[in-house]
């Protein structure tokens, strides 16, 4: 399992792996928003949590096809399926690798981007906490979508259509948590809900992902 994780991480860090692309995309989204809605800082600080969450979500979405598509093309997915490691474990490791290369850097960089959108100071810790809790769920749900569409040629658009509705609850509670934190309201309910969604998804969805992957490899 660790060997697989190291391999996936190495592949994404090396040339052509696309590490940092998600981060750059996130930066561009945050830069484009003031052009779209105007530079008034009180408006920006009100919508900052939502924008940052949307940016992180889209950055995750764009890198999803890298999770499985390359391994599907060169056949290493078949090897994984026949290896002694259960496919559920392999899928979880792949989701973890995706999170380490996109979700984690996004979370760590988010205070910097929040600065650009003049997020209120009270919001910073809550933004980081919400992204830290929420982005693993995005990676795991995304792996399920990637597993569903891995056999489809040019399935990127289809995958977005399938994955985005699944992202709705995570986005709602994540953005709500960040927003309430920024406005100094009680944060316990969305925090618990977000944590519940994240842990539930991490515990259960790899089984569904492995199931559809087996169907696709049949």
Partner 1 sequence: MGSIWEYANPVKFSRTATLLLPWVSILAAISLVTGLVWGFFFTPEDFRQGSTVKIIYLHVPSALMAINVWFMMLVTSLIWLIRRHHVSVLAAKAAAPVGVIMTLIALATGAIWGQPMWGTWWVWDPRLTAFLILFLFYLGYIALWEAIDNPDTAADLTSVLCIVGSVFALLSRYAVNFWNQGLHQGASVMRAGAVTGADTQEKVSNIFFYPLLLCIIGFVLLFVALVFLRTRTEIHKRRTKALLARERLG
Min separation Cβ 193 and partner 1, Å: 7
Min separation Cβ 166 and partner 1, Å: 5
Distance CA 89, CA 94 (A): 9
Query: In the chain, which residue ranges form alpha helices assigned H by DSSP?
Result: 2-13, 21-37, 41-62, 65-74, 76-82, 87-98, 104-116, 123-149, 156-183, 188-217
Contact residue for partner 1 among 149, 198, 202, 206 (CB under 8 A): 149
Contact residue for partner 1 among 57, 59, 177, 205 (CB under 8 A): 205
Q: Does 64 bind partner 1 (CB under 8 A)?
A: no
Q: Does 215 bind partner 1 (CB under 8 A)?
A: yes
Instruction: Find where tokens 């056949």 sit.
Output: 75
Query: Scanning residues 182 to 201, which ones bind partner 1 (CB under 8 A)?
Result: 189-190, 193, 197
Site string for partner 1, 74-93 (x = CB under 8 A): --------------------
Contact residue for partner 1 among 79, 122, 152, 192 (CB under 8 A): 152
Contacts 24+ apart (CB under 8 A), 85-89: 85/1, 85/4, 86/210, 87/210, 87/213, 87/214, 88/206, 88/207, 88/209, 88/210, 89/1, 89/206
Min separation Cβ 212 and partner 1, Å: 5
Which two three-digit tokens encode residue 5? Answer: 């994780």
Contact residue for partner 1 among 34, 111, 151, 156 (CB under 8 A): 151
Min separation Cβ 161 and partner 1, Å: 5
Q: Does 47 bind partner 1 (CB under 8 A)?
A: no
Residue 13 CB contacts under 8 Å (≥ 6 apart), including other chains: 19, 101
* CA Rg value for the chain: 18
Question: Which residue ranges make up the site for partner 1 (CB under 8 A)?
Answer: 144, 148-149, 151-152, 155, 158, 161-162, 164-166, 168-169, 172-173, 176, 189-190, 193, 197, 205, 208, 211-212, 215-216, 218
């Amino acid at each position: 399992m660790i060997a697989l994780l190291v391999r996936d991480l190495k592949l994404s860090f090396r040339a052509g792996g696309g590490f940092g692309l998600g981060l750059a995309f996130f930066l561009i989204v945050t830069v484009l928003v003031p052009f779209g809605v105007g530079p008034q800082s009180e408006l920006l600080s009100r919508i900052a949590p939502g924008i940052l969450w949307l940016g992180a979500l889209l950055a995750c979405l764009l890198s999803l096809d890298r999770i499985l598509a390359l391994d599907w093309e060169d056949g290493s997915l078949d090897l994984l399926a026949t290896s002694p490691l259960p496919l559920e474990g392999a899928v979880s490791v792949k989701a973890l690798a995706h999170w380490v290369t996109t979700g984690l850097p996004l979370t760590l960089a988010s205070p910097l981007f929040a600065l650009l959108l003049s997020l209120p100071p009270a919001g910073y810790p809550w933004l980081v906490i919400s992204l830290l809790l929420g982005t693993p769920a995005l990676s795991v749900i995304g792996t399920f979508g990637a597993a569903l569409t891995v056999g489809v040629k040019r399935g990127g658009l289809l995958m977005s259509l399938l994955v985005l509705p699944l992202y709705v609850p995570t986005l709602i509670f994540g953005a709500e948590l960040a927003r309430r934190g920024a406005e100094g309201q009680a944060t316990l309910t969305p925090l618990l809900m977000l944590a519940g969604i994240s842990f539930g998804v991490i515990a259960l969805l790899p089984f569904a992902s492995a199931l559809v992957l087996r169907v696709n490899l049949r």
